[in-house]
Amino acid sequence: MYEGMKALLSYLEESERNYDINKISEAYYYADKLHEGQMRQSGEPYISHPVAVARIVAELGLDTDSICAALLHDTVEDCSEKTSLDVITKMFGKEVAMLVDGLTKIIQVQVADKEEAHIENIRKMLLAMNKDIRVIFIKLCDRLHNMRTLSAKKEDRQRAIALETMYIYAPLAHRLGIQRIKQELENISLFYLDNVGYEEVHEEIDKKYGRSRNFIEEAKAQLAEKLTENKISFTLSGRIKSVYSLYRKMYTSNKAFDEIYDFYAVRIIVETELECYTALGLVHEMFKSIPGRFKDYISTPKPNLYRSLHTTVIGNSGIPFEVQIRTRQMHEEAEYGIAAHWKYKSGEKSSANIDEKLRWISQLLESDENTRDPDEFIHSFKTDIFHDETFVFTPKGDVISLPLGSTVIDFAYAIHSAVGNKMTGAKVNGVIVPIDRIPGNGDIIEIITSQSSKGPSRDWLKIVKTGQARSKIRQWFKKEKRTENIQVGRAEVEREMRRYSKTLTDAEITEIVTTIAKKVGIQTADDFYNTLGFGGISLQRFLPKIKDEIEKLKAQDAPISTPDEELSKVKLTQVNKRLRNSGGIIIDGEAGCQVKFAKCCNPLPGDKIVGFVTRGFGVSVHKADCPNVIQSRGNEDNLARWVRAEWDIAESAQTSLYEAMIQIIAEDGIGVLAGISVALADMKVSISQINTQALKNGENAINIVIGCKNVSHYESIVSRLRSVPKVLSVTRSFSN
């Protein structure tokens, strides 16, 4: 038996929970047999991975079936010729098979477009979570072990996996309240995304902690004496802030290291909620508190179940530190989130309380069903997953949690769709406010409604923050305003089409719209206009398709030109091969030539280009102003090998992304590389290569190879990068 499995069984046997050791052992032996001969990239036997995942699952306190599913989670995917879900069901039961199936479906998404595949993965994950929350617990444990062993991957894969972890899995762990996993995922991700920034913060931590290494122990001793005097049963622990937490505060809040007051923290764990407040009074009696640094998450818990009292005080040596006070149950929920419910409720998968806390998953899936717009889905997902909270009150005193930046309209729809649809105004703390007012923490909001209200305004879609509110507004327009939706949608389409071609007839517009609509599962032009009108889809994502269809119409009407004597000999069918050219390039009037794009200049659709006939490798395509072109044309021996080249517009629009090189000159400092990575990730731009070089003037040169559709796409990327803090210039570069 693998040593890691022996350690896991010992851990389970020593725990106080009633595990079925025989069933878990059987799952291990079966997985070990199926994975026999398979190795990880690190060189370890593959079985080491599922065993490590099962250990993390056990540490979360999950049940027997969850541990079995962790051991078996890769068997159906990686050993499909040896096993199946039916076999898993017969051997280990429906529960284990269902969990394995949920984990397998998350990674079994076959979509041609990488962006759509990524979005579909998130959808599958949410569907699996909605069916059984244990699926995402196991998936988070799987991701955590993969991150711990990420050094075995190539550098480009390290960055891609770390970026996905930082923006999907770490926030999910936070939303579910699993702080232990969240913090480790963030720290490891940062290490691979901005190693320089990580090491700088880590060095600052070592320096500061080294100067005051005994501070936490002294503070704990003082608190222990005071709590003992007052006959309070307690447990004390201390911590320093994690690398990522400090990095984020320094980067997003632009704070110096010495301005961070919660670098040190002492945690007091007591028996009852009353003792929490008693201990808080004793802390404030002992130390001077910092105004504005007290938070009561017991009376107003966070949506992820987190409950605790936080206060920041000044220690006797003048060093500020945070004190967290909570009960043992609150501590379990703070460390393990919703997973904590399995620690003491073996076999109980859910409860009314858990279902309520996970209602956001159902709301997000419901919103997606109403739109099926990838951009809208991602926007709603980010809003629900990444947001900081604002806590507001109804007039009756009920607490409502909203994403930071939400308006009173969002509040109305959070209460009920009927309240939002009949809303005519709002009061905040008794004062009438505009409907785009963003309330603050602790505000009391009253929604003014009227039975004679004509319903929400389309402008509200531009105001609201939450996907829930946006979805409910769209539902109302979809149901109540079809005729108006069609008019709005048609006007929007025609306005965009006239920009591309002023000579289009109404029949041609209808033909183009119908063609595009059917490609996305909408049967008629009016249905497409209706969906646009109520906001179910965004026209922006269809603009490239509209432009393609207009170009096709123009190509059908245009006469076939024969620019020189050689081309005039080409048959009509051969000229029409332009529309089928997989490279998107026409050489001397002919399509279908073997071409490759020169790495020295990486031309993009929209650039002026020329071709160079190579010896044995077809035609090399360069930008017309490429330095190598200019130099080569000075050599008379090469003149005859240069040929005319042009983009086949219809074909290049369907070709995969083209490589482009960008050089960024930026100030030296923490977070620059992360800011650039975040900007590119937000634009869904792929990075295939990145390297940095320190310049003599203290600045940095950052060279990045990215994927671009064309020159216009490239220019929009450059424009965004120029807005990143500390970026001085962004230029397109050439390889030597």
- What residues contact 408, with CB distance under 8 A and at least 6 apart? 426, 428, 433, 435, 436, 437, 439, 445, 447
- Measured at the alpha carbon of residue 85, what is the angle toward residues 79 and 91, in degrees to the nearest 5? 100
Q: Hey, what are 89's tokens?
A: 């069901």
Please check whether residue 190 is in contact with residue 200, taking contact to mean a CB–CB distance below 8 angstroms.
no
Q: What is the 3-state secondary structure (H, E, C) of 446-496?
A: EEEECCCCCCCCCCHHHHCCCHHHHHHHHHHHHHHCHHHHHHHHHHHHHHH
| Bridge partner residues of 45 (DSSP) | 39
Closest CA to 150 of 164, 161, 136, 163: 161
Active-site residue, 78 included: yes
Phi then psi for residue 613, to 5 deg, are: -75, 115
β-sheet bridge partners, residue 622: 610
The CB-side HSE value for 177 (13 A sphere, CA atoms) comes to 25
CA atoms of 622 and 610, how far apart (whole Å): 6
d(CA 586, CA 593): 8
One-letter identity of residue 389: E
Q: Is 178 left (phi over 0), alpha (psi -120 to 50) or beta?
A: beta
Residue 686 vs residues 158, 270, 415, 656: alpha-carbon distances, Å: 14, 49, 40, 12
Here the tokens at position 66 are: 């969850």
Query: What is the DSSP secondary-structure string of 206-255?
Result: HHHHHHTTTHHHHHHHHHHHHHHHTT--EEEEEEE--HHHHHHHHHHS--
CA-to-CA distance for 318 and 285, rounded, in angstroms? 16
Has 335 been annotated as catalytic? no
- DSSP assignment string, 83-111: --HHHHHHHH-HHHHHHHHHHHHHH----
Contacts of 452 (CB under 8 A, 6+ apart): none
DSSP line for 577-642:
GGGG-TT-EEETTB-S--EEE-TTT---BTB-EEEEE-SSS-EEEEETT-HHHHHHHTSGGGGGGE
Which member of 44, 59, 78, 389 is catalytic? 78
Task: Pull the structure tokens for residue 195.
Answer: 């190693």
Structure token digits, residue 733: 């570069």
Q: Which of 26, 44, 59, 77 is catalytic?
A: 77
Q: In what order do the strands lie in the sheet with 658-667?
A: 687-694, 699-708, 658-667, 727-732
Q: How far apart are CA 606 and CA 285, in angstroms?
A: 70
Residues that are catalytic: 77-78
